[in-house]
Structure formats: C-alpha cells, structure tokens
C-alpha cells in the first residue's frame, strides 16, 4: 500500500447496521434479520444496540418501499379481508 493512500475503517456497529439495512431493503422478515444479527454477535463479536437495530430496519424498509413501490406487501398472519360480521 502506498504511503499516500488513506485507509478507511468502519466501526463494528456500523458494519452490523449496514447489514441490517441491506437485509431489510431486500425484504427479509424481522425474525430472519434478528437471526443474522445473533450469528454476527456469536461468531464475530459484532454487536449493535436496539436503537441502531430499529433505525436500520425502519430505514431499509422505507427505502425498499420508496425504490420499489410495486412490491406487494402481504397482510399480517391472522388477518383477512372479511368484515367482523362475516363468519367462516
């Protein structure tokens, strides 16, 4: 490496934050992202606090919706299109 080159390093929490952001932007569900962050913590000792996790998750999901507005967002489990007075 040449003497004039500048090395840029990121903090461990920034690495985890970036991974969470990318996974959220790709559409991974929360439980899968939590599983990945647990593995990062256990394998590489990479940690992030709950605020960083939530912020990265929300930002990734928001960017996904803005950049890909045609993506279908399925309903949450246990909900349906039926009205309250309808029975199955």
Cα angle at 58 between 9 and 10, to 5 degrees?
A: 5
In this model, does residue 5 exceed pLDDT 70? yes
The pLDDT of residue 84 is above 80: no
Angstrom distance (rounded) from CA 80 to CA 2: 62
Residue 81 has pLDDT above 60, yes or no: no
DSSP character at residue 72: -
Pairwise CA distance, residues 70 & 10, whole Å: 34
Report the alpha-carbon distance of residue 21 to residue 25 in Å, rounded.
6
Higher pLDDT among residues 77 and 3, named by residue: 3
Q: Name the residue ranges covered by the structural domains of the chain.
A: 12-67
Condensed to tens digits (0 to 9), the pLDDT of residues 39-79 reads 999 999 998 899 999 999 999 999 998 887 666 666 555 55
Q: Is the pLDDT of residue 14 over 50?
A: yes
Q: What is the mean pLDDT of the chain?
A: 83
């Amino acid at each position: 490496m040449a003497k004039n080159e500048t090395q840029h390093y990121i903090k461990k929490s920034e690495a985890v934050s970036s991974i969470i952001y990318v996974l959220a932007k790709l559409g991974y569900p929360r439980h899968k992202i939590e599983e990945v962050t647990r593995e990062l913590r256990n394998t590489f000792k990479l940690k992030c606090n709950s605020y960083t996790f939530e912020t990265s998750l929300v930002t990734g999901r928001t960017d996904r919706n803005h950049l890909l507005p045609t993506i279908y967002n399925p309903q949450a489990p246990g909900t349906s299109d039926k009205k309250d007075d309808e029975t199955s």
